[in-house]
C-alpha cells in the first residue's frame, strides 16, 4: 500500500517494542514515522532498532503535520493529558488501556475528539485476534444457541514478586480490575454486547505488600485499592456474566472465560493474547471439541486496533477498538467498585455497539477485504 497512514508513538517503554515491530512489519496501511519519550535515549534506541525515521520530543511529534494517529503508551496517569494534547493538535489517538483513570476524563476525551473531528481508540485490541474472532463467529453463527451466561476469571497473587516497579498496581487506579479487567470485559462485550447493570463486591486482603523483586526488593507498599473484586454483569441482551479479578489468590483451576448458551458451552482463550485454543461442547456431545481458528492474527498482533483505525479514517467506517467501547469498559469497572462501596446495583449510563467482526479470509497484513 503506497499511501500509508503515518503514526507517531509517545512512550517508548517495554510495550512499545511490539507496536513498533508490527507497525513497521505487519500492517501494510500504517507507517511509524516518529517516536518520543520523556527519556530521549529511550526514543532514540527504539527508533534505531525499528528503523523509525525520527526520534523526537513530544512537542515535535505533535507538531508534525504528516502524522495522523498518535499511539499513547504512557503510564495510565498520563493517558488523559497526553491524549488531549494529541487531539488538540488535530490527531486521532489510540491509548493503551485503560482509556483514562476516571469517567470524567474519559468523557472529556471523547467530547474533545468529536469537536475536533478526530478519533479515539484504545487497547486492548486482543479481541481482534484469531482466537477471539473465532469465538465471535461461533456465537454469531449459533453454535451454542442463545448466550445465557458467561464467567471470567483473572486470579493471581499480585505483581510484587516479579514486576520491577509494582507500586502502581496497589494504588488508586490500579488493582486487578483496572490492570487486567479491560482484557476480559472487552472480550465479553465483543462476544455478548454491552452491559446494562452491574453489582459488585470488593475487599483489600493485605493492607501492605512487600516487594521481593529487583530493584525495589524489601520496599513496603501501602495498598490503597481493592485487590479481590467480584462483579455480576447484566448484559443488555439479558445474559448474565460473572467476572472475578484478584491479586489475592495463590493458585486455582478455573477457566479464563466460558460462555454458556442454550445449545452448548464455549471455552474462550486468554484475552491477554491473540490466539487459541478454542473449544466447544454442544448439547448431546460426550466430549469437548477443539475448533480450528477461523481468522488470522493469532500471534502477538498488538497494534491491530491502530491499523483498523487507519482503515476507518480512510474509508469512513467505524473502527473496532473504539473510544466508545473503551469508555463502556471503564464505566463497568468503576460501576463495580461503586456498587461494592455503596451496596447497590449500578445501572450504567454508557453503552456501545458491538464492534464489527473481522471478515473471513483476509490476507495477513490487511484488515479490509
Note whether 228 and 269 are same-domain residues: yes
231 and 145 co-located in one domain: yes
Answer with the one of 265, 290, 315 that is the final residue of a domain: 290
85 lies in the same domain as 171: no
109 located within any domain: yes
Low-confidence ranges of the chain (pLDDT < 70): 1-2
240 inside domain: yes
Determine, yes or no, domain membership for 325.
no
Mark whether 276 and 195 lie in a shared domain: yes
In a domain, 241, yes or no: yes
State the pairing for strand pair 5-10/67-72. Answer: parallel
| Sequence-ordered strand ranges (E) for the chain | 5-10, 30-36, 54-56, 67-72, 92-95, 120-122, 147-155, 195-203, 208-210, 220-222, 228-235, 240-246, 257-261, 264-268, 279-282, 289-290, 346-347
d(CA 38, CA 74) in angstroms, rounded, equals 10
Is the same domain home to 118 and 148?
no
User: How many residues are listed for the chain in this entry?
Assistant: 369
pLDDT at 369: 75
- What is the rounded CA–CA span in Å between residue 350 and residue 260? 25
- Are 175 and 218 part of one and the same domain? yes
Domain at 241, CATH number? 3.30.360.10
Judgement on whether residues 109 and 131 belong to the same structural domain of the protein: no
Which of 72, 91, 122 delimits the end of a domain?
122
- Tens-place pLDDT, residues 313-355: 999 999 999 999 999 999 999 999 999 999 999 999 999 999 9
One domain, residues 245 and 111 = no
State whether 88 and 229 are in the same domain: no
Residue at 333 is within a domain: no
Domain presence at residue 254: yes
> Domain boundary at 290, 311, 326, which?
290
The count of structural domains within the chain is 2
Look at residue 2 in the predicted model and tell me its pLDDT. Answer: 57
Q: What CATH number does the domain containing 104 carry?
A: 3.40.50.720
The verdict on residue 305 lying in a domain is no
Residue 238 and residue 159 share a domain: yes
- Domain of 56? 5-122
Amino acid at each position: 500500500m503506497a499511501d500509508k497512514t503515518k503514526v507517531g508513538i509517545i512512550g517508548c517503554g517495554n510495550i512499545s517494542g511490539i507496536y513498533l515491530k508490527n507497525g513497521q512489519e505487519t500492517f501494510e496501511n500504517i507507517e511509524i514515522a516518529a517516536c518520543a519519550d520523556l527519556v530521549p535515549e529511550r526514543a532514540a534506541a527504539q527508533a534505531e532498532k525499528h528503523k523509525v525515521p525520527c526520534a523526537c520530543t513530544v512537542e515535535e511529534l505533535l507538531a508534525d503535520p504528516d502524522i495522523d494517529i498518535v499511539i499513547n503508551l504512557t503510564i495510565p496517569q498520563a493517558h488523559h493529558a497526553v491524549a488531549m494534547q494529541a487531539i488538540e493538535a488535530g490527531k486521532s489517538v489510540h491509548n493503551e488501556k485503560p482509556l483514562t483513570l476516571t469517567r470524567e476524563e474519559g468523557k472529556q476525551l471523547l467530547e474533545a475528539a468529536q469537536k475536533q473531528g478526530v478519533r479515539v481508540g484504545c487497547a486492548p485490541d486482543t479481541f481482534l485476534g484469531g482466537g477471539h474472532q473465532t469465538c465471535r463467529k461461533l456465537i454469531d453463527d449459533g453454535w451454542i444457541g442463545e448466550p445465557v451466561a458467561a464467567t471470567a476469571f483473572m486470579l493471581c497473587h499480585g505483581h510484587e514478586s516479579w514486576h520491577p516497579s509494582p507500586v502502581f498496581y496497589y494504588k488508586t487506579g490500579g488493582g486487578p480490575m483496572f490492570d487486567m479487567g479491560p482484557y476480559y470485559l472487552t472480550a465479553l462485550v465483543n462476544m455478548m454486547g454491552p452491559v446494562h447493570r452491574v453489582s459488585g463486591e470488593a475487599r483489600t486482603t493485605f493492607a501492605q505488600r512487600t516487594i521481593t523483586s529487583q530493584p525495589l526488593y524489601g520496599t513496603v507498599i501501602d495498598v490503597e485499592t481493592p485487590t479481590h473484586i467480584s462483579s455480576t454483569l447484566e448484559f443488555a441482551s439479558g445474559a448474565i456474566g460473572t467476572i472475578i479479578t484478584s491479586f489475592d489468590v495463590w493458585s486455582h483451576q478455573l477457566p479464563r472465560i466460558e460462555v454458556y448458551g442454550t445449545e452448548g458451552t464455549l471455552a474462550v482463550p486468554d484475552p491477554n493474547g491473540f490466539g487459541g485454543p478454542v473449544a466447544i461442547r454442544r448439547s448431546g456431545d460426550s466430549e469437548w471439541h477443539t475448533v480450528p481458528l477461523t481468522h488470522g492474527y493469532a500471534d502477538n498482533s498488538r497494534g491491530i486496533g491502530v491499523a483498523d483505525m487507519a482503515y476507518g479514517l480512510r474509508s469512513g467506517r467505524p473502527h473496532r477498538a473504539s473510544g466508545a467501547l473503551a469508555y463502556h469498559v471503564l464505566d463497568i469497572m468503576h460501576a463495580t467498585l461503586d456498587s461494592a462501596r455503596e451496596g447497590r446495583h449500578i445501572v450504567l449510563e454508557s453503552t456501545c455497539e458491538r464492534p464489527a467482526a473481522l471478515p473471513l479470509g483476509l490476507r495477513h497484513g490487511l484488515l479490509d477485504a
